[in-house]
Amino acid sequence: MSASPDTVAREVARRRTFAIISHPDAGKSTMTEALALHARMISEAGAIHGKAGRKSTVSDWMEMEKARGISVSSTALQFNYTISDPDTGDTEVAVINLVDTPGHADFSEDTYRVLTAVDAAVMLIDAAKGLEPQTLKLFQVCRHRGVPVITVVNKWDRPGRTPLELIDEISERIGLTPTPLYFPVGIAGDFRGVLDRRTGEYIRFTRTAGGATIAPEELLSADAAATREGDEWAAAVEESDLLSEMGQDHDEELFLAGETSPMIFASAALNFGVRQLLEALVELAPPPAGREGVDHHDREVTDPFSAVVFKVQAGMDSSHRDRLAYMRIVSGEFERGMVVTHAQTGKPFATKYAQAVFGRDRSTVDTAYPGDVVGLVNAMALAPGDTLYTDEAIEFPPIPSFAPEHFAVLRAESAGKYKQFRKAMDQLDSEGVVQVLRNEIRGDASPVLAAVGPMQFEVVTARMKSEFGVETSIQNLPYSLARRTDADSAADLGRQRGVEVFTRSDGVMLALVSDKWRLQYIEKEHPTLTLEPLVATAD
């Protein structure tokens, strides 16, 4: 029997679903593990490169990720976090759904899909580098989708810029007003603790061996902090007061409206400031909300079950070679085994094999609620953007694709592996790892891959070999633009120099063009031909 609307509402109220976004090497995977460590889901944090015998981060499971120390796929972590009220002693158990995202710009499309499934984002910034191109791009996606952002200045234990300099840069470059909840005591590279701007107290951190365990904290009054830290405390108080005079104190309404961003200074590697981030998420980030369907009909969180698939991933379990579809529950209660309707086909879909995901590790999930991320095993019919529902029909808007900028031919090295090659291509295509294009001239044996970034091609060849035993080769093509076209224009476009026409697996016809100058020439000389821009959803 499904849970009552009141039960669903209570479960929704204690859930927080968010993503961490950052430029590569800002410490995103390290922060992910630091959060899991503070929630006591793991006993010791791993190092990205496995230094000093420590294991790789829980969230990075692909061999390519472990070798390079970057994230190239999104993973979901769910854990409980208990907060105690210091005045009453009452405890609150929050359910945290943390969706990790790829850390490389070549996988920004995967990050975009994740941002369609969360209610808030943590924008991680390197203390020395400040805002970087990928950070700016992802913030614009958050702004476009109305996702409120909490800013974390990471790596404060290393030399870097001043707090006010970083605050000014964020305000000037992206029009978001930072409102620090905590202000660092000690310059970048000499991280002693933080001033709690709302209480005036000092939270002093103590390092642990290699940052592998939770850093002890000591709470001191302002007077005790002044005695202990002297000029460093005085400087922090002075700059905090300056921010207050400028109106840069936290305002929940402005935060949810996307005008301000609560800011925290931290060191994920040392586990400094991590508890403060978790508690800010529970206190300030919005709980899950309903969403609008394509027919403009709202699905409220207490309505019957519905969910949207935002990611499909295979190869996570080499012993089973299964395929996992991540769905974000939008409304109602999910019960394992329930039969739902797949909106795109109208067909029933059984959910017998449903799992909660923690990095590469999984466990069976029997019930879940709005905001939760559940993995459906061997969901061969599902693709990113698909909707599942019970009772009254609903279909959520599809997740748009990015406009590809890199194109290459993929071939199997051995003709005897053709069957496995085709199977692998179909799987990777359905996951959205790359877009697969075909035409009669090149044939099925030489599909063209279209990608946002060239590293996507490396993922394809690596997975072809590891999961399907197929050695492949990549040949880059001299195209840089893709435009939507139609059958009436295809023949004439195919005769143009620097143009080749393909059909994507979803039936859309694309004209690949060598460069913008060639495109401008064709548009001028052949104005009746169809050459429509593909929407780049990051803009």
100 labelled binding-site residue: yes
Nearest-angstrom CA–CA distance, 255 and 284 = 9
* CB-based contact 358:77 (threshold 8 Å): yes
DSSP structure class, residue 433: S
103 labelled binding-site residue: yes
Nearest-angstrom CA–CA distance, 448 and 292 = 35
Q: How many CB atoms lie within 10 A of CB 1?
A: 5
Which residue in 306, 342, 286 sits closest to 145, CA to CA?
A: 286
57 labelled binding-site residue: no
* CB-based contact 22:95 (threshold 8 Å): no
DSSP 332-372: S-EETT-EEEETTTTEEEE--SEEEEETTEEEE-SEE-TT-
Which residue in 509, 506, 507 sits closest to 529, CA to CA?
A: 509
296 labelled binding-site residue: no
Which residue in 473, 477, 469 sits closest to 458, CA to CA?
A: 473
Which residue in 113, 41, 114 sits closest to 79, CA to CA?
A: 41
Encoded tokens for 463: 């997975």
**Largest Cα–Cα distance in the chain?**
80
Q: How far is CA 311 from the centre of its chain?
A: 10
Q: How many CB atoms lie within 10 A of CB 156?
A: 28
133-145 and 163-174 helices cross at what angle (nearest 10)? 60
101 labelled binding-site residue: yes
Q: Which helix (H) or strand (E) holds 139?
A: helix 133-145
Nearest-angstrom CA–CA distance, 63 and 134 = 24
Q: Can you give 15-33 as a three-state secondary structure string?
A: EEEEEEEECCCCCHHHHHH
The terminus-to-terminus CA distance of the chain in angstroms comes to 44
Residue numbers belonging to the annotated binding site: 100-104
Q: Which residues are annotated as a binding site for GTP?
A: 100-104
